[in-house]
Chains A and B, each alone.
Chain A
Amino acid sequence: MSGYAGDVVALARKDLRLELRARDTLPAMLLFVLATLVVFHFALPQGSGDVAAYGLLWVAIVFTALLGLARAWVPESAAGALDGLVLATHDRSAIWLAKSLAALAFLGAAEIVALPAFALFFAPLDATAIAGVALASVGICVVGSLASAMAAAGRGREVILPLLVLPLSIPLVVGGVGAGISPEPEKYLLFLGLYDAVFAILSWATFEYVVTE
Chain B
Amino acid sequence: MIRAEGIEKRFGRKLVLRGISFTLQRGGCLVVTGANGSGKTTLLRLLAGLAVPTRGSLAVAVDRSRVGFLGHEPLLYRELTALENLDLFGRLYRVPERRERAGMLLERFGLWEVRRERVATYSRGMTQRLALCRTLLHEPDLLVLDEPFTALDGDGTALLERELAAVAEERTLVVATHEPRHVDRLATGRLTLAGGVPA
Residues of A at the B interface (CB closer than 8 Å) are: 6-7, 10-11, 14, 17-18, 21-22, 75, 78-81, 83-90, 212-213
Contact = CB atoms under 8 A, between A and B. Distances in A.
Nearest to A76: B77
A22 B120 CA distance: 12
24 contacts: A6-B91, A10-B88, A14-B88, A18-B77, A18-B80, A22-B79, A78-B77, A79-B77, A79-B119, A81-B76, A83-B50, A83-B73, A84-B89, A84-B134, A86-B50, A87-B48, A87-B75, A88-B89, A88-B92, A88-B138, A90-B92, A212-B51, A213-B45, A213-B52
B188 interface: no
Contact of A213 (B50, B79, B91, B138): B50
Contact of B80 (A14, A85, A90): A14
B65 A81 contact: no
A177 B128 CA distance: 51
Given A88-B92, A89-B92, A212-B50, A80 B73 contact: yes
B92 A79 contact: no
Contacts of A81: 75-77
A17 B76 contact: no
Given A79-B74, A79-B119, A87-B64, 12 more contacts: A6-B91, A10-B88, A10-B92, A14-B77, A14-B84, A22-B79, A75-B78, A80-B72, A80-B75, A81-B75, A88-B138, A212-B49
A206 to B, nearest CB: 15
Given A6-B91, A10-B91, A87 B79 contact: no
Interface residues of B, number: 31
Contact of B79 (A21, A86, A212): A21
Query: Which secondary structure dominates chain B's binding surface?
Result: loop
B67 A18 contact: no
Interface in B54-105: 64-65, 67, 69, 71-80, 84, 88-89, 91-94
A88 B76 CA distance: 12
A79 B50 contact: no
B69 A87 contact: yes
Nearest to B45: A213
Contacts of B50: 83, 86-87, 212-213
Contacts of B49: 87, 212
Contacts of B93: 88
A86 B48 CA distance: 10
A81 B127 CA distance: 13
Contacts of A11: 88, 92
A31 to B, nearest CB: 21
A79 B51 contact: no
B140 to A, nearest CB: 10
B95 to A, nearest CB: 10
Contacts of A80: 71-76
A7 B52 contact: no
B76 A79 contact: yes
B88 A83 contact: no
A75 B45 contact: no
Contact of A7 (B11, B92, B134): B92
B63 to A, nearest CB: 9
Contacts of B71: 80, 83
Contacts of A18: 77, 79-80
